[in-house]
Each structure stands twice: as structure tokens, then as C-alpha cells.
Amino acid sequence: MRYRKRKYFLAGRINLIQRSKIRELFEKASKMEDVISLGIGEPDFDTPEVVKEAAKRALDEGYTHYTPNAGIPEFREAIAEYYRDFYRINVDPSNIIVTAGAYEATYLAFQSLLEGGDDVIIPDPAFVCYVEDAKIAEAGILRIPLRAENKFRLDPDELVEMITKRTRMLVMNYPNNPTGAVLDKKTARAIGEIAEDYNLYILSDEPYEHFLYEGARHYPMIKYAPDNTILANSFSKSFAMTGWRLGFTIAPEQVIRDMIKLHAYVIGNVTSFVQIAGITALRDKRSWQALERMRRTYDERRKLVMKYLSKMPHVEPFRPKGAFYIWVKIDPELDMTSEDFAGWLLENAGVVVIPGTAFGKQGEGWIRISYATKKEQLVEAMERMHSALSRL
């Protein structure tokens, strides 16, 4: 069928969303041969076999129908059980909604909690979806800088300075995309207290909670500000399940009650057999063993890439202790913007990296490298980068 040429009247709201600036770079890369991408933010591993088997079995057993909007009760219990066993946090299953990944959890939080006249504080740099979610919610956006000298942790004093009567929500994401930074207990506590004192919501997006290195630990914000935190979490990274679209949110009762109204009319419920597989992911030892194998492999790659980067001219990596990204500073003497540098690297080394500005203004002068790529590819990319940069 061919559509007639006519004028379509679209809601202005949709134009608030900015399509990713890095699309052009990817488009250019897709037309080139022999390009290695260190741009992707998804595991290169397959979902653990035991989880795939559970989904197949669930299909055969007839899990092909609607489920309650908030999710299958046994799955919500398994999530609560996981928080109890892993973090000693008591979560009631009634405070959980199973969502289509952390993306949906985040969207629900913005839509349910913010409106015109409210402000949200979003770190800079930050993962790309928060700003777009805020725009659609018509909220004012304040960016709080994350600084290398502070190991890219939020500075509680700076946060207090930014808060006004309009401030409703703070977004947090540790282990962090794009910097690979992790949180520490002192900061988690301080921010939790600020949230309580100023009656702020914390949207804490924690999909990389298990990817920790060098003895780093995870501090879930629901532990430090339970009455204020909306947790977004996901199976995408932990169990290499990006395509399954499985995540969840945990929030106070009243918030959950509102979030579920939107969730019920947008997706109804997350795919039934996917939820059943989620129970296996959380309860079966084999999926945790698979997770640990992935974590170790990421750690080896992290060390490998750090070793290469630290020997390269014109770049200086921040040593990450979480997620699977390395945030790399570009030599200011090169006088190149992040986008120039990423473009130059693509043309001269055939390597795709993400310009830091994709994550906010503070990302100027930085690039993000993902090591969720096979070792041989990483080595090849590093060697190409080294030789290209040596020619500068």
C-alpha cells in the first residue's frame, strides 16, 4: 500500500523528543567496511540456557494469556525474595510492577510524578533516556555535573544548592552509564537524607548492579531513602536479556498505584512466558553462575582495555569499577570536540566510539568505550586506535 501525500497533524509533544545525535555516526559506520564498534551498550553474551529453557517450557505449559497488570504474583514474590536475600531489604510484592525493561519503569516514573512547573535534577553526563522522558513529562530539567575529581559521584553539597521549591525528583544511576563510576555508602546515605529532608523523589536506575569490579559494592537507594525512592531495574544486563524486555520498578504504595494506571493501558502486562522465565533467572543457581562468568569476562576485558588505553597517546581513561563502559578523556591539546574525535577515529582507525556529548554538555572532551565486545575485537580496536593516535 502507498500512502497519499498529505499533511499530517501530529501532537507537538512528540517533537520534544530528540532522536539520538549519534545516529549519523552509526549510519556512516554502517556504510564502511571492517569497522569495529565499541559503541553498543548491550551484552554480547547469550541469555543463560536455563532461562531460555524456562521460557520454552512456559509456552508449552500454556502461559500465553494476559497476566495481572503488575505481573505474575510468583514473579513479584521472587523479586521481593531476591532483595531480601541479596541486600537484606524488605520489599512487599505489592510495591513491585513488572515492566518492559528499565526504560518503561523510568517512563512510568516521569509520567506519574512530574508535570509542567516541576523540576527534575538529572546528572550530566547521564544515560540518554532521562532527559527525553523529562521533556515529555513537561518537567524543567536541571543538570548536576558529575566530575572526574569526585569519581563521577554526585556531590551532596552541590545537590542541596540546586534544590528549589520546584524540585521534585533526582535521577541516579550507579553503576553508571556512561562513566563506569560506582557509588559509595557515604554518598548514598547523604543523598538519601537530602531526599527525605527536601521531600524529593529519587529515581534510581540500577540495571548494572551486578557488574562491579575491584571489590566495589552496590548500594541500592531503596535502602537509603525507602519512602522516596523509585527503583528501576532490569534483567537486560544482569542476565543478558535485552531482547526479552523484562524489568521492574519498586516504589511506595501510592506511587505504584498511579504508575500501574499508565502501565495497564500502555502495555497491559509484560509477556507472560517471559515473566515465568524471570522467576528462573532469579531462583536458579545456574543463571547466577552464568552471571558471574559474564562479570569475570567483563572484568578481564576492562583490565585489558585499560592497559591499552593507558599506554596510548592523547587519551586518558577514568578507571571504572562498574558497568561495562570506559569514559575516556581526550587530550585538550588536540583541539577536537568529542564529535570530531569520534568521527576522526572512525575514519582513521575504523573504530566506533560514542562522543561524550551524547550524554550531556559535561561529556564534551570525553568519549565512551563499551567493552561488551569479544576480546579479539577489543584487542584489534585498541591496536588500531593506538597506531592512529600515534600518528597525530
Ligand X SMILES: Cc1ncc(COP(=O)(O)O)c(C=O)c1O
What does the alpha-carbon distance between residue 371 and residue 43 come to, in Å, rounded to a whole number?
A: 9
Judge whether 219 and 185 are in contact, CB under 8 Å.
yes
Nearer to ligand X, 238 or 272 (CB): 238
Under the binding rule (CB under 6 A), the answer on residue 180 touching ligand X is: no
Under the binding rule (CB under 6 A), the answer on residue 173 touching ligand X is: yes
Residue located via cell numbers 574525535: 341
- Rounded to 10 deg, the angle between the 285-311 and 272-283 helix axes is 80
Classify 151 in phi/psi space as left (phi over 0), alpha (psi -120 to 50) or beta.
left
Please identify, among the stretches 65-73, 99-107, 266-274, 291-299, the one whose residues bind ligand X according to the rule CB under 6 A.
99-107
What does the alpha-carbon distance between residue 349 and residue 365 come to, in Å, rounded to a whole number?
A: 19
C-alpha cell, 45: 553474551
Burial 32-41 (b: 16+ CB within 10 A, else e): eeebbbbbeb
Under the binding rule (CB under 6 A), the answer on residue 101 touching ligand X is: yes
Nearer to ligand X, 173 or 297 (CB): 173
Exactly one of 205, 209, 269, 369 binds ligand X (CB under 6 A); which one? 205
Please identify, among the stretches 74-82, 162-170, 234-242, 265-273, the one whose residues bind ligand X according to the rule CB under 6 A.
234-242
Interactions with ligand X, residue window 37-56 (CB under 6 A) = 41
Exactly one of 234, 271, 297, 373 binds ligand X (CB under 6 A); which one? 234
- Residue number of the CB closest to ligand X reads 101
Which residues are paired to 249 by β-bridges? Answer: 97, 232
Exactly one of 37, 242, 271, 287 binds ligand X (CB under 6 A); which one? 242
Distance from first CA to last CA of the chain, Å, rounded? 52
Under the binding rule (CB under 6 A), the answer on residue 339 touching ligand X is: no
Under the binding rule (CB under 6 A), the answer on residue 152 touching ligand X is: no
The burial of 278, by beta-carbon neighbours within 10 Å (0-12 exposed, 13-18 middle, 19 or more buried), is given as buried
Under the binding rule (CB under 6 A), the answer on residue 133 touching ligand X is: no
Nearer to ligand X, 63 or 103 (CB): 103
Under the binding rule (CB under 6 A), the answer on residue 275 touching ligand X is: no
Which residues of the shown chain bind ligand X in the complex (CB under 6 A)? 41, 101-103, 127, 173, 177, 205, 207, 234, 236, 242, 247
